[in-house]
Amino acid sequence: METAIRYLTIGLGSALGGMARHWCSGAMARVFGETFPWGTFTVNAAGCAFIGLFAGVTVPEGRYYLPLLARQFVMVGLCGGFTTFSAYSLETLRQAGDGEYFKAAANIAASIAVCLAGVWLGYGLGSNWSER
């Protein structure tokens, strides 16, 4: 029964994360247009920053203890459903396939740099908040 509850909890988080991804991607496309995958880029950057922050704040030895199931709901479910590296990869492949090599390279470089920086920054902030 515990395994079923874990899967259902993570599944619920994934569904909520997917709905949030759909909304955010659409909002970015409406604001910035679709000549560059701003929605996917924004989702990945925000998701990386948030998972870093959340992981840093809720480390088991930190100030804000959360049970494993709650951490899995957020990090595996919500963040996993929200971030879109599979979509990012497909969009980058399409850009390259369309001969838009500069856009594809810019998407790769910016996504890696911003997402790693987001995790680093989020984790650092979360760890500092979590220190006892």
- Per-residue pLDDT band at 5 (split at 50, 70, 90): very high
- How far apart, in whole angstroms, are the C-alpha atoms of residue 88 and residue 71? 25
pLDDT in tens, 88-105: 887 898 899 999 999 999
Q: Provide the whole-model pTM.
A: 0.79
Q: Please, are residues 55 and 123 in contact by the beta-carbon 8 Å criterion?
A: yes
Confidence class for position 15, pLDDT limits 50, 70, 90 = very high
Whether the per-residue pLDDT at 68 is higher than 70: the answer is yes
Separation of CA 114 from chain center: 12
Domain ranges of the chain: 2-130
- φ/ψ bin of 33: left (φ > 0), alpha (ψ from -120 to 50), beta (otherwise): left
> Cα separation of 109 and 66, whole Å?
34
- Output the six-digit token pair for 89: 């990869």
Cβ-based neighbours of 57, under 8 Å, separated by 6 or more? 64, 126, 127, 129, 130
Residue 55 has pLDDT above 70, yes or no: yes
